[in-house]
Structure 1
Amino acid sequence: MLTSEENDLLCRVENDAPMGQLMRRHWVPVCMSEEVAEPDGAPVRLRILGREYVAFRDSDGRLGVLDGHCPHRGALLALGRNEDCGLRCLYHGWKIDVEGTVQEMASEPPESALKTKVKHEAFPVEESGGFVWAYLGPRDAMPAFEPPPFAADKSAQVSILKIKIPCNWAQIQEGQIDSAHSSSLHYSDMKPARVGGAEADDKSWYRPSTDKSPKLQIERTPYGFHYAAIRRPIKNAATHNYIRVTEYLAPFVSLIPPNNIYNVASVNVPVDDTTTMFYFIAWGNPETCTPTDEWRRFCHAVPGVDLNPDWSPIRTLDNNFLQDRDAMRGDDSFTGIPGIPNQDIAMWVGMGPIVDRSKDILGASDMAIVEFRRLMVDAAKVMAETGEAFGVGATLQGVQSYQEVIPKEVDWRTKVARESQAAE
C-alpha cells in the first residue's frame, strides 16, 4: 500500500511534479515515425506530461518538435501550414523552422527587426525504432541518446500499435510488469499447451504451463529491475521450471518475455495525470516478426476500426468495453473482450483515472508491483531533493527479456546474463 502523498509522487506528472521532471530528463518517445513520415505533411499535435508540443517533418525531411503554441499570441501550431521548411501559424502567418528560428512574420512590416529577437522553444530530436524521441528537460542535463533495446538492430522489424488510454501511467505500467495476471485475464489468448517454450501464431500465444500462481524473484538493476516469474511446466514438472523474465527500463519501457517468432515490448508515455499513450510492440527478425498491420489486427487495435482518429479506443467504460457476455458462456473467451491490450485496458480504466493504492490488498504475486512502487516513489523523492533522475545514463545495451523451460538447479539470473551478453 502507498500513502496518499506517496501515490501522488508516483502518479502526478504535470507542472513541477517530481515524476514529470524525472521523465523529462530521459529521452521521451513523443510519437510514432509513421505519424510524421511525409515531408510537409500534417503536423502532429502532442500533449505530453501536461504540456502542448507539435511535431512535424519539414520540406527537407528534418524532424522538429516545438512548443505547441505560437510565440506571438499562443495559437496552436499543430493547426498551421507545414511548408517551405517551416511551420506557419494560421493566425498571423509567423513561420518557424525545426530549430525554433522565426523565419517570417507576415503581420509585421518588412523593416521590422522583431524576428531576429524571437527564438521559439525547440527540442532535440532523434528517430529510432519506429519512434520520434525528444529531450524535453533542461539542456544542461541532457544525456546522450541511446537506441532502445527493440531498436538495437536497425534491420529488425518493429511493429507498433498505439492507444490513448484515459487513466494514469502508473496503473498501466504496473500491468505491464505483472506476470501473474496473464494466466487469468489473458487465458483465452495465452493458452496452455504442450510446447517447449512460448510460441505464437496468427490466432493465439501458447505457453508450456497451466500454473496460475507463479513464484517471483526480483533483482534491481541500474536502469530499473528485472524479475523472474517461475511456474511449473506441463512437461518435466519434477525437474524443470518455466521461467519468464520481465525487464522494467525506467521510466517508460517494459520488455515482456518473447515467443518463438517475435519479442514483445511496451512503452507508456503520460499525456497528463489521467491520460496515457500506450504503445505495444512486436519486434525482431523481419522474416518471422508479424508486420504492423497484422499486429494491430491480432491485438484488435486497428485505426478506424477499433480506434478513433485520436487513437482512443471505441471500447470504453461507458459501453462496458463492448464486452460479449454470450461469448463468455463458452470456452472461447474468458473476458468477452477481444485482443490482449483491450483486456488490459478494461482493467486499467475500470480502476478509475488514478487508482487509490492505500486500499490495495497485495499478495505474493505482487512482488514486482511492490518493487516498482518502491523504486519509483524513491526516485521521485530523490528527484525532488537533488535533481538527480533515476536511470539516466544507464546503458541498455544487451538488455532483453527472456523465457525458457530450464532445469531447477539453473539460476535464471545467470541465464539472463548470458543471453544479454550474447545479444550485445
Structure 2
Amino acid sequence: MGQVMRQHWLPACMSEEVAEPDGAPVRARLLGVDLVVFRDSLGRIGVLDERCPHRGASLAFGRNEECGLRCLYHGWKFGVDGAIQEMASEPEGSRMGAVKARAYPVQEAGGFVWVWMGGVDAVRPFEAPPWAPTPTTRTSIVKIHAACNWAQVLEGSIDSAHSSSLHSTNMPTAEVEGSTATETAWLRPSNDKAPKLEVEATDYGFHYAALRRPIRNPETHVYVRTTVFIAPFTVLIPPNDQYNLAQMLVPIDDVNCMFYWIAWHPTRGISQEAWRRFCAAEVGPDLDTDFRKLRNLANGYQQDRAAMRAGDFTGIKGIPAQDMAMWESMGPIADRSADHLGASDVAIIQFRRQMVAAAKSAAAGGPVIGTSSTARRTDLASYEGLVEKTADWRVFTTRRTAEAHAAE
C-alpha cells in the first residue's frame, strides 16, 4: 500500500501551519517517514527529512533564517532544495559540501502543503484537489490525529448509513427540503435509518448513493445522499445547503493517521473559526498543539451519561470525536475477519475489494489506482437532496450538475 500512496501527492500539513516566512518549522510524518516543513524568507516551501544528514539531529529545532534552515547542532544550513548553504563547523572547500538533505517536491493548493514521496524521476503532474476549483474558493479545515490505521478511518467516511444513528443528535430529522445547516446541527429530511445503497466503480475509485425514504412526498420522491471515493484517501461526503464537504484520511504510519475535514464553497462556506467550533475541534479546548484529542480513548472521550439520559444519543461532544470513539475503539488495526457485513456495508465491501486489488497490482509492478483517471478532481462532486424516484442519482455526480440541480 505504501507503493500506492507514493504515486499520489500527499498533504504534509495545512498552509496556515507554515504561514509566516522564516517562521518555526513544523514536524510532519507520512508513511513512517519523519519530515520537517518550513517557509523560507522568500515564501518558498521546503519539505526535508527531519534528521540532519550530518549527525542526525532534528531540524525541527532549527533556525529558519535568510532563505535556509540551520541545524542548531553544528550550524549546517539547508535550502528548500536540500542543498547545503553554509557549514559553520567545516573548513572552506570541505568535501562535505556535496552532502544534501533529502528534499521532496512540494506544491501548495487548497489550504495544504502537498509533498511527493515517490521517485524523483517519476513525479506526477500536480492536480488541484476537489475543494479548490478556483483560487477564491472559501475553504475551512479541521485537522485531528487518529490513533489507528488510516483504512478504518476511511471506512467511516464512506459509510453513509452510520450518520443516522451515531450522529443523530447533530443531524436531527426535520421537515426541510434538504440538509440544512444551523450553528449547532444539520437538519435532514428523513428518519430512515436503513438506506438502500447503490455503488458504481470508476477510474478514480467509486461513487455510491444512499437512498432514503423522505418525510415529505415519500410516494413520489427519494432522499439521495451520494459519496465519492477518490483513491487512495480522499472522500467527498454529502454537502448541506451552506457548504460542500470533503475528508482526507492520510497515513502517518501503520497505526496512526491524520484526519482532515474540509468545508468549502465557491461563495458562501463557513469561517475557519465557526467550522472548528461546530466540530468541537479547536486547538486549546479540544486539541493540543499537535492536533491530538483531549477527549480520547484513555478518558472515554469524556462521554456524558447524564446527557445521554437527557436525550443526547452518544454523550460525546462533536461529530469527529463521536467517529473517533468508534474507529479507535476497534484497535490500532481492526480485525476485518471478525466483521459481519450486511446490506448497509456495500461501500465498505467495494473499498476493501478495490484497495486489496490495488495493493496487489502495485506489488506486481502494475498500474496504480487513481493515476490514470480521465476525470478532473475539481469536476467531481457529492450530492444530497430530494429527487423524483425516477431520477438516476448518477446524474448528480459532477460539480456542475450537482450545483445546477441544487439551484433549481
**TM-score, normalised on structure 1?**
0.93
1:350 aligns with 2:329: yes
1:377 aligns with 2:377: no
1:39 aligns with 2:21: yes
Which deviates further from its counterpart, 117-126 or 403-412? Answer: 117-126
Following TM superposition, by how much is the alpha carbon of 1:130 offset from its aligned partner in structure 2, in angstroms? Answer: 0.4
Determine helix, strand or coil for the equivalent of 1:175: helix
Distance 1:268 1:403 in 2: 22
1:179 aligns with 2:160: yes
Following TM superposition, by how much is the alpha carbon of 1:207 offset from its aligned partner in structure 2, in angstroms? Answer: 0.8
Q: 1:223 corresponds to which residue? A: 204
Q: Which of 291, 298, 321 is matched with 1:311 structurally?
A: 291
Q: 2:116 corresponds to which residue? A: 135
Following TM superposition, by how much is the alpha carbon of 1:25 offset from its aligned partner in structure 2, in angstroms? Answer: 1.0
Give the gaps of 5 or more residues in structure 1: 1-18
Distance 2:244 2:172 in 1: 18
1:244 aligns with 2:225: yes
8 Å contact kept, 1:398–1:421: no
Within 5 Å, give how 1:69-218 maps onto structure 2.
69-115=51-97, 117-218=98-199
Distance 1:283 1:365 in 2: 28
Distance 1:46 1:411 in 2: 43
Following TM superposition, by how much is the alpha carbon of 1:142 offset from its aligned partner in structure 2, in angstroms? Answer: 1.6
Following TM superposition, by how much is the alpha carbon of 1:397 offset from its aligned partner in structure 2, in angstroms? Answer: 3.5
Within 5 Å, give how 1:412-423 maps onto structure 2.
412-417=393-398, 419-420=400-401
Number of residue equivalences? 402
Determine helix, strand or coil for the equivalent of 1:365: helix
8 Å contact kept, 1:398–1:420: no
Q: Which of 239, 245, 256 is matched with 1:258 structurally?
A: 239
Per-residue deviation, residues 126-160 of structure 1 (Å, max 9, x unmatched): 11110000111012222110000101121111100
Summarize the Cα distance change of 1:418–1:29 in structure 2 as closer, same or farther, 3 Å threshold.
closer
Q: 1:401 corresponds to which residue? A: 382
Q: Which of 277, 290, 300 is matched with 2:270 structurally?
A: 290
Following TM superposition, by how much is the alpha carbon of 1:112 offset from its aligned partner in structure 2, in angstroms? Answer: 1.8
Following TM superposition, by how much is the alpha carbon of 1:178 offset from its aligned partner in structure 2, in angstroms? Answer: 0.1
Distance 2:212 2:4 in 1: 35
Q: 2:344 corresponds to which residue? A: 365
Determine helix, strand or coil for the equivalent of 2:222: strand
Following TM superposition, by how much is the alpha carbon of 1:417 offset from its aligned partner in structure 2, in angstroms? Answer: 4.9
8 Å contact kept, 1:143–1:393: no
Following TM superposition, by how much is the alpha carbon of 1:389 offset from its aligned partner in structure 2, in angstroms? Answer: 1.7
8 Å contact kept, 2:35–2:48: yes
1:237 alignment partner AA? P
8 Å contact kept, 2:301–2:325: yes
Q: CA RMSD in A?
A: 1.3
8 Å contact kept, 2:40–2:66: yes
Distance 1:289 1:418 in 2: 16
Summarize the Cα distance change of 1:418–1:25 in structure 2 as closer, same or farther, 3 Å threshold.
closer
Following TM superposition, by how much is the alpha carbon of 1:114 offset from its aligned partner in structure 2, in angstroms? Answer: 2.2
Per-residue deviation, residues 315-361 of structure 1 (Å, max 9, x unmatched): 11111110000000022x10001111110001001111000000000
Q: Which of 358, 361, 370 is matched with 1:391 structurally?
A: 370
Q: 2:50 corresponds to which residue? A: 68
Distance 2:378 2:245 in 1: 17
1:330 aligns with 2:310: yes
Q: Which of 272, 280, 284 is matched with 2:253 structurally?
A: 272
Per-residue deviation, residues 371-421 of structure 1 (Å, max 9, x unmatched): 000011100000000153210142324101011111111111123358458
Q: 1:300 corresponds to which residue? A: 280
Distance 1:69 1:146 in 2: 29
Summarize the Cα distance change of 1:180–1:307 in structure 2 as closer, same or farther, 3 Å threshold.
same
Summarize the Cα distance change of 1:393–1:55 in structure 2 as closer, same or farther, 3 Å threshold.
farther
8 Å contact kept, 1:262–1:289: yes
- Structure 1 segments of 4 or more deviating over 2 A? 414-423
Distance 1:368 1:39 in 2: 43
Distance 1:196 1:38 in 2: 43
2:33 alignment partner AA? R
Distance 1:262 1:417 in 2: 16
